[in-house]
């Protein structure tokens, strides 16, 4: 009777044992860290408030002085992008108001050289995401829905996650986010009546049918 054959791992397999231990122990830990970071404010940029080259206060300009959003961001009704105002827009007022303020030095330099001020983008979607401002603004989505109460911010801060799930929630149930078109830039607007009913009317009057197809945002 032939003896039972036994399988022996090659000697080099012993070198894999430490790596196998790292995978078994470190793998679950790695997944936990990835999930935790993926859903943290760090990943979705909530709370992001970069320092700008000019200390522009929206609380002063949009809030206290009541300057409408469209005065500076004058392309949002017709363009996919919200334009950053040129230095000339700032100087429309500041040629006479605090014209020699040290804080406005980058604006004056921009006017002299023709080089734009290097503002830091706050709400910056990934390159693989397509978003059209005019498609939202012209159909009843107010600025405040995505940007929050900018008119109360000394430093513009991202307050919404702008994640795919967050956008889809609005596309699936838009009524609570819609308002009359003449109130788009009124950040403090309070509905005179039931908000959902008002939103429903805006949706029906403007034939709003938000798509949830992948190609809507990923083109």
Residue carrying structure tokens 């004056």: 108
pLDDT of residue 147: 97
The pLDDT of 44-72, averaged and rounded, is: 94
pLDDT score recorded for residue 141: 97
First-to-last CA distance in the chain? 70
Spatial contact of 146 and 160, defined as CB atoms under 8 Å apart: yes
**What's the predicted TM-score (pTM) here?**
0.78
pLDDT mean across residues, the chain: 90
Secondary structure (3-state) at 141: strand
pLDDT at 35 over 70: no
Q: Which residue has the higher pLDDT, 19 or 179?
A: 179
Question: What CA–CA distance (Å, rounded) separates 108 from 95?
Answer: 9
Lowest-confidence range among 25-39, 83-97, 116-130, 193-207?
Answer: 25-39
Supply the pLDDT for residue 40. 54
């Amino acid at each position: 009777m032939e003896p039972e054959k036994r399988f022996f791992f090659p000697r080099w397999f012993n070198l894999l044992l430490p790596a196998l231990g790292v995978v078994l122990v470190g793998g679950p830990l790695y997944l936990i860290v990835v999930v935790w970071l993926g859903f943290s404010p760090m990943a979705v940029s909530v709370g992001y408030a970069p320092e700008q080259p000019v200390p522009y206060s929206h609380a002063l300009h949009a809030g206290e002085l009541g300057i409408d959003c469209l005065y500076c961001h004058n392309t949002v009704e017709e363009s996919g992008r919200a334009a950053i105002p040129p230095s000339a827009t700032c100087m429309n007022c500041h040629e006479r108001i605090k014209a020699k303020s040290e804080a406005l030095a980058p604006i004056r330099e921009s006017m002299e050289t023709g080089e734009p001020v290097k503002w830091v983008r706050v709400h910056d979607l990934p390159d693989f995401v397509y978003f059209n401002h005019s498609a939202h603004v012209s159909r009843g989505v107010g600025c405040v829905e995505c940007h929050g109460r900018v008119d109360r911010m000394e430093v513009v801060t991202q307050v919404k996650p702008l994640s795919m799930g967050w956008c889809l929630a609005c596309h699936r149930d838009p009524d609570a986010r819609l308002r009359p078109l003449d109130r788009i830039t009124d950040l403090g607007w309070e509905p005179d009546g039931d908000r959902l009913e008002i939103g429903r009317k805006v949706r029906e009057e403007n034939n709003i049918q938000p798509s949830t197809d992948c190609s809507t945002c990923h083109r």
